[in-house]
Amino acid sequence: MENRTLFKDVPAEDLIVPVRVQGRLARALDSDIFYSWRTSPVTVVATLVALALILMALFAPLIAPYDPFNPASLNLMDGFTPPASTGAFTDNYFLMGADNQGRDVLSTIMYGSRVSLFVGILATLFAMTLGVSLGLIAGYNGGTIDAVIMRITDVQLSFPAILIALLIFGIARGLIPPSQQESMAVWVLILAIGLSNWAQFARTVRGATMVERQKDYVSAARIMGVHPILILLRHVLPNVLGPVLVIGTISLALAIIEEATLSFLGVGVPPTQPSLGTLIRIGQQFLFSGEWWILFFPAVTLIALALSVNLLGDWLRDALNPKLR
């Protein structure tokens, strides 16, 4: 029997707070956010495109017509097969044509967006975790810690992100032994892109944290002696997460483009594991000789991916901003 002090004559069933009236899914479908998603056709289309691309990348090994990285299934003589035609020496059908090595462009795109999305998502998550943690610490503590962290972000934001990524990439190249460079390349790329994008998260979160920590519910928790880390995680973080999600989506699009840029410049993923950027780099060599499809289809995929994620970010920004409603 529990230790009751109040209303001892009232049965417990009449006093207990019910667990939950509405299920999570029902509540989500009933929410303002879902309504604003449902009523924005652009956003619905963007979601569908992004989902389709993500699913395509996720299940590339299952749905791709060919394995573009298996030398046994490739025939160099199929190189430069135009779209929607059969290879000259094999019976392979190339919907989006074949590149200079006879690889099916559709399959390379599927595998390539896999690399692009993997790098983009992990780099963004890394940047988000780093930026949000530092922003929370800076905003909550203030003083010297805040000043130091914010000066670092100032320096970081005064450089173009791509330069920082190149710098980190170069340093990593020097540190990692050549034998492991190829296998580590993707992780170095994630690190480089992540480290070049965390500053915006830190700045936004720091500002929002400084507003939240002044609020009385934080004071109430402090009076109770709740540990500062718990205050940050339970009280402050949920209240600053809105802007973080918005920046997160937009920075996912940026990270994908940044990865493509680095790969285009030839410092990204190794050629054995081409991303969309690598494919575009390969394609642009043949653009002026008329083999447009090698460049065109990967570029369109990259644009579709970045655009749909960006549109989602825009929608999220508007949906979470009560002033625009």
Partner 1 sequence: MTKTLLDVRDLSRRFDVSQPWLNRKIEGTGKRFVNAVTEVSFSVNQGETFALVGESGSGKSTIAKLIVGLLKPSHGDIVFDGISLKDGLKGAKARALRRRFQMIFQDPLASLNPRWRVVDIVAEPLRVFERGMSNRDQRLRVGELLTLVGLAPEDGVKFPHQFSGGQRQRIAIARALAANPDFIVCDEPTSALDVSVQAQILNLMKDLQKEFGLTYVFISHNLQVVRHMANDIGVLYLGRLAEFAEAGALFDAPKHPYTRMLLDAVPDIEMTGRRRKQVEGEIPSPIDPPSGCAFHPRCPFANDRCKRDVPLVINGVACHAVEEGRIG
Least separation in angstroms between CB 55 and partner 1: 32
Residue placing its CB nearer to partner 1 in the complex, 7 or 59: 7
Min CB(247)–partner 1 separation in Å: 19
Q: Which residues, numbered 8-27, are part of the site for partner 1 (CB under 8 A)? A: 10, 12, 14-21
Choose the stretch contacting partner 1; rule: CB under 8 A; options: 2-10, 107-115, 190-198, 270-278: 2-10
DSSP character string of 23-74: -HHHHHHHSHHHHHHHT-HHHHHHHHHHHHHHHHHHTHHHH-SS-TT-GGG-
Nearer to partner 1, 21 or 62 (CB): 21
Interaction of residue 148 with partner 1, rule CB under 8 A: no
Scanning the chain, the segments in alpha helix (DSSP H) are 12-15, 24-30, 32-38, 41-58, 60-63, 105-141, 143-157, 161-175, 178-195, 198-213, 216-224, 228-230, 237-264, 276-284, 293-320
Beta bridge partners of 104: 98
Q: How far out from the chain centre does Cα 178 lie?
A: 29
Per DSSP, the three-state class of 1 is coil
Q: Is the Cβ–Cβ distance between 84 and 105 less than 8 Å?
A: no
Residue number, 38 or 215, with CB nearest to partner 1: 215
Binding part of the chain for partner 1, among 1-9, 58-66, 189-197, 248-256 by CB under 8 A, reads 1-9
Q: How big is the chain, counted in residues?
A: 325
Residues 6+ apart with CB under 8 A from 193: 119, 120, 123, 127, 161, 165, 255, 258, 259, 262
Q: Which of 6, 324 has the CB closer to partner 1?
A: 6
- Nearer residue to partner 1 within complex by CB, 20 or 39: 20
- Give the single-character DSSP code of 325: -
Total residues contacting partner 1 by CB under 8 A comes to 30
- Cβ-based nearer residue to partner 1, 18 or 71: 18
Least CB distance from residue 143 to partner 1, whole Å?
Answer: 11
Residues 294-323 interacting with partner 1 (rule: CB under 8 A): none
Q: Nearer Cβ to partner 1, position 86 or 219? A: 219
The site string for partner 1 over 209-248 (x = CB under 8 A, - otherwise) reads: ------xxx-xxxxxxxx--------x--xx---------
User: At closest approach, how far in Å is the CB of 36 from partner 1?
Assistant: 18
Q: Are 221 and 231 in contact (CB under 8 A)?
A: yes
CA distance 176 to 167: 14
Contact residues for partner 1 (CB under 8 A)? Answer: 2-7, 10, 12, 14-21, 215-217, 219-226, 235, 238-239
